[in-house]
Amino acid sequence: MVGTDDEILVFSSAGNIIRMGANEISSQGRDATGVRVARLGEGETIVAVAPVLEAEAEGE
């Protein structure tokens, strides 16, 4: 789970990486069919989604 202030990375099977804010993805109800986060090429799939981790400040 990520918060609305967080960012995520979306990795495709073609090697593309998309960085986007979690707030760019609209919330969906229980009966929703999904949300498009990227347009993919023929035969391309999303292979992973990961949160962007902020580097800790030195000394923390």
Digit-coded pLDDT (tens) for 2-35: 888 899 999 999 999 999 998 888 777 777 777 7
Range of the domain at 9: 1-26+42-53
Which residue in this structure is represented by tokens 């990486």?
A: 17
Number of structural domains, the chain? 1
The pTM (predicted TM-score) of the whole model is: 0.72
Domain assignment present for residue 36? The answer is no
Structure confidence by residue, pLDDT tens digits, 46-59:
999 999 987 655 55
| pLDDT reported for residue 56 | 57
What are the contacts of 28-31 at 24+ separation with CB within 8 A? none
- Asked whether residue 59 is domain-assigned, the answer is no
Residue 19 lies in a domain: yes
